[in-house]
């Protein structure tokens, strides 16, 4: 019998980065459609402008500045740009988006070495940068379907989470029902409003085996457990567990941002710790922080801890002691 000696990696797959990114883009189309239905064509413009700007900037950096003449876009920048646009307020202007996209692509991605080497999720850290730099614009929320009125340009209103923080759960639920939050008939960031659309896209990624299931499971489980405890302490102030799952960016953050292959832990145990950390930090900010929302900050904070989580949760090499695995 003839044997071949080959260098690692020994396990290969036919999947490419481009194929994975195309599947992610396809999975986001239901949320894009619902967002356009709820907020109008301007929402579609914001998402497409962000996506194209990110791809053009990424292409320029790699092809011109890094002088990789054979580089062909793998659509990872398109995914970053689209998720960034979906996390924007309807009040942003084109120059806001350009500044945020530049920060996400240049600082969060290429300053660390490019695709696969970035510590933070570029789209998420771009959103955090925007929240800190342009807080007024990023917390101006348009009322659903308001731009379809012929008598006014638009109407702004508070999100369910903002109403919960200011006036309690009863006030928030009197304005927005659970079904409104599930379907997307609520104010908020452009792509986060419809839990149903995001879940449909997530189901597609699960079917294509593109997603780390343990991360969203651990996030949702942590949120359900902690919010249940606080609900029994004071239901009016803290709201129900279902409210915290459906309101704000919990669904889009857990399904599409926290599961980023590059910026999340590699092992199952690490993914559980990662998800628990996101759930705890997000609810802590929601309950006691200055912002009514905390998902973006929690993901960025846990991104920073991923190298340590991977080190601590490193599996023991077969045939070695636990001490030898460290």
Same domain, residue pair 129 and 231: no
Tell me the residue range of the domain where 166 lies. 159-187+212-312
Same domain, residue pair 74 and 169: no
Residue 70, CB-side half-sphere exposure with 13 Å CA sphere: 0
Domain-located, residue 41: yes
Same domain, residue pair 76 and 163: no
Same domain, residue pair 130 and 164: no
Same domain, residue pair 302 and 235: yes
Domain-located, residue 34: yes
pTM of the predicted protein model: 0.90
Q: Is there a contact between 88 and 111 (Cβ–Cβ < 8 Å)?
A: no
State residue 153's pLDDT score.
65
Q: Could you give the C-alpha distances from 230 to 159, 167, 283, 294, 309, in angstroms and in order?
A: 21, 17, 10, 16, 28
Number of domains forming the structure of the chain: 2
State residue 16's pLDDT score.
85
Domain-located, residue 147: no
User: Among all chains, which residue has been given the structure tokens 């260098």?
Assistant: 7
φ and ψ of 188, to 5 deg: 155, -170
Average pLDDT over the chain reads 90
State residue 193's pLDDT score.
92
What average pLDDT values come out for the chain (326 residues) when binned by 10 residues? 68 80 95 94 95 95 88 91 95 94 94 88 94 92 74 75 89 91 92 94 92 93 96 92 93 94 92 96 93 91 94 79 58
Same domain, residue pair 166 and 128: no
Backbone conformation region of residue 198, classed left if phi is above 0, alpha if psi is from -120 to 50, else beta? alpha
Same domain, residue pair 231 and 109: no
State residue 82's pLDDT score.
96
Domain-located, residue 221: yes
State residue 267's pLDDT score.
92
pLDDT, tens digit (0-9, with 9 covering 90-100), for 177-197: 999 999 999 999 999 999 999
Same domain, residue pair 164 and 305: yes
Residue 321, CB-side half-sphere exposure with 13 Å CA sphere: 2
Same domain, residue pair 129 and 171: no
Same domain, residue pair 217 and 170: yes
Domain-located, residue 4: no
Give the integer Cα–Cα distance in Å for 219 and 191: 19
Where among 80, 107, 139 does a domain terminate? 139
Same domain, residue pair 173 and 233: yes
**β-pair partners for 229:** none
Same domain, residue pair 169 and 58: no
């Amino acid at each position: 019998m003839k044997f071949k000696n080959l260098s690692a990696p020994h396990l290969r797959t036919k999947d490419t980065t481009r194929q994975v990114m195309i599947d992610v883009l396809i999975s986001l189309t239901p949320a894009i459609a619902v967002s356009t239905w709820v907020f109008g064509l301007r929402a579609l413009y914001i998402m497409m402008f962000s996506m194209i700007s990110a791809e053009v900037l990424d292409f320029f950096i790699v092809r011109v500045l890094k002088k990789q003449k054979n580089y062909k876009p793998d659509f990872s920048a398109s995914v970053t740009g689209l998720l960034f646009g979906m996390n924007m307020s309807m009040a942003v202007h084109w120059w806001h988006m350009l500044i945020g996209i530049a920060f996400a692509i240049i600082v969060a991605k290429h300053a660390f070495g490019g695709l696969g080497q970035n510590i933070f999720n570029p789209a998420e850290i771009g959103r955090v940068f925007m929240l800190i730099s342009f807080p007024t614009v990023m917390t101006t929320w348009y009322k659903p379907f308001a731009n379809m009125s012929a008598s006014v340009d638009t109407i702004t209103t508070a999100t369910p989470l903002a109403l919960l923080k200011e006036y309690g759960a009863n006030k928030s639920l009197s304005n927005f029902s659970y079904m409104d939050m599930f379907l997307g008939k609520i104010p908020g960031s452009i792509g986060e409003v419809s839990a149903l659309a995001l879940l449909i896209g997530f189901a597609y990624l699960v079917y294509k085996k593109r997603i780390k299931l343990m991360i969203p499971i651990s996030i949702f489980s942590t949120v359900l457990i902690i919010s249940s405890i606080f609900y029994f302490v004071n239901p009016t102030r803290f709201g129900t567990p279902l409210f915290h799952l459906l309101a704000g960016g919990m669904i889009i953050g857990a399904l599409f941002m926290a599961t980023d292959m590059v910026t999340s832990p590699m092992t199952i145990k690490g993914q559980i710790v990662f998800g628990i950390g996101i759930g705890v930090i997000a609810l802590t900010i929601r309950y006691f922080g200055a912002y009514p929302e905390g998902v973006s900050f929690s993901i960025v904070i846990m991104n920073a801890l991923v190298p340590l989580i991977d080190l601590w949760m490193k599996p023991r090499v077969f045939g070695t002691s636990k001490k030898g695995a460290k």
